[in-house]
Structure 1
Amino acid sequence: MIAKLTGLLDETGPDWAIIDVHGVGYMVHCSAKTLTHLGIAGDRVVIHTELQVSETDQRLIGFASAGERAWFRLLTAVQGVGSKVALAILSALSVEELQRACANGDSAMVARANGVGPKLATRIVHELKDKAGGLAGLSGPAGIGGDPGMAAPAGSASADAISALQNLGFKPAVATMAVARAVEDLGEDAGLNELVRVALKRATA
């Protein structure tokens, strides 16, 4: 799976960008906030990606941070939320605002996004409230590997590592930051045991 692209911003459209990686142009569909973050044509960019495959289509979804990608995964796990609706939500709300809205049950804030009605917004905050409450605020476009703010998809090694550190008595923000730094050291495909080992060193350093 293509998880990240590093290259030059070649061209942008209303909801997409083309990233030139060594002469190969990858079209990625993005939220408005990610497109703004990418800058102008010719800029060197790093974009986290999610490959979506269906019977009729294959597309890369691009994100300014691993945290934004994690929220995209959480959103699309909610019934009735496809990639277009998820990107609309991420265009309307920053990851910090989305985390706060879900944690506080603020469906009106989520309903600000295009194509999201009151019923769907209520479903989103209801299903994601518990998950959002266990995550630190998600800040900064750098995400994992740059900013300690991070969202870990439920069931992922990162989420399990954060939970493990919290069970050992570390505060959520400290646990999240330590795991973010461990992911930075080990890479996003690191296993749970290695993440916990390195994160413990980071948390107690």
Structure 2
Amino acid sequence: MIGKLKGTIEEIGEDHVLVDVHGVCYVAFCSARTLSRIGSAGEAIVLFIETYVREDQLKLFGFMTALEREWFIILQGVQGVGARVALAVLSTLTPSELANAIALQDKTAVSRAPGVGPKVAVRIVTELKNKAPAFAGEASGSIGLKQELGEGVASSAVTDAVSALSNLGYSRDQAANAVAAALRSAGEEADSAQLIRLGLKELAR
């Protein structure tokens, strides 16, 4: 089982990279996002690897971070999501963006990935909602509030503040981040007007 490759980029294809490890070249299939970040031929590379062994094939899938690899595995636990669709999702959303979308039950964000229809998007945000906090990465600070919003159990002050900021043109994710920051500074007892005011300051930074 291969868990990580450290080597030199030999060639970058449309959906894969060829990695030279001491003269042995490995083909690792990657998301478009990963391929755009790995560099150019001749440069050093480190990829976290998920190895797929089937009766008729052996495939390596490469990721820039262990968190991205974890989401690749987790996504395939959803009915209708195979390796190709999982890579498409990770080509469209970063791990943190995916965790945010799932927490907020944002089916539209997930369905932007090629090959992800409305039904699959619903299954992803529904079935993986309990996974989001553990694999939120840099979004972990606000993921709890986003889950409350997604499940419709957030306080009225928080809901009203996020709605007001969204109506000003900010995405629901941006609005939720700003309100989460406002709550940290103002406290849980802050009313919606205070959260909106502090949220706007946060968004203006």
TM range (shorter): 0.5 to 0.7
Q: CA deviation at 1:138?
A: 4.4
Matched, 1:60 2:60: yes
Aligned AA (1:49): I
Where do residues 1-205 of structure 1 align in structure 2 (5 Å cutoff)?
1-138=1-138
Q: CA deviation at 1:36?
A: 1.2
| Secondary structure, aligned partner of 2:18 | strand
CA contact (8 A) 1:67 1:138 kept: no
Query: Given the two structures, how large is their TM-score scaled by the length of structure 2?
Result: 0.66
Q: CA deviation at 1:95?
A: 1.0
Q: Distance in 1 between matches of 2:138 and 2:62?
A: 17
Aligned AA (1:105): Q
Q: Distance in 2 between matches of 1:135 and 1:61?
A: 19
Structure 2: runs of 5 or more not aligned: 142-205
* Residues 135, 60 of structure 1: alpha-carbon distance in 2 compared, 3 angstrom cutoff: closer
| Bigger Cα Rg | 2
Aligned AA (2:12): T
| Secondary structure, aligned partner of 1:131 | coil
Q: CA deviation at 1:28?
A: 0.3
Aligned position for 1:155: none
Aligned AA (1:78): V
Percent of aligned pairs with the same amino acid = 51
Structure 1: runs of 5 or more not aligned: 140-147, 150-205
Measured on the aligned residues, the alpha-carbon RMSD in Å equals 1.7
Deviations 1:154-193 (A, max 9, x none): xxxxxxxxxxxxxxxxxxxxxxxxxxxxxxxxxxxxxxxx
Q: CA deviation at 1:134?
A: 3.7
Aligned residues between the structures? 141
Q: Distance in 1 between matches of 2:136 and 2:64?
A: 18
Q: Distance in 2 between matches of 1:13 and 1:90?
A: 17
Q: Distance in 2 between matches of 1:26 and 1:54?
A: 17
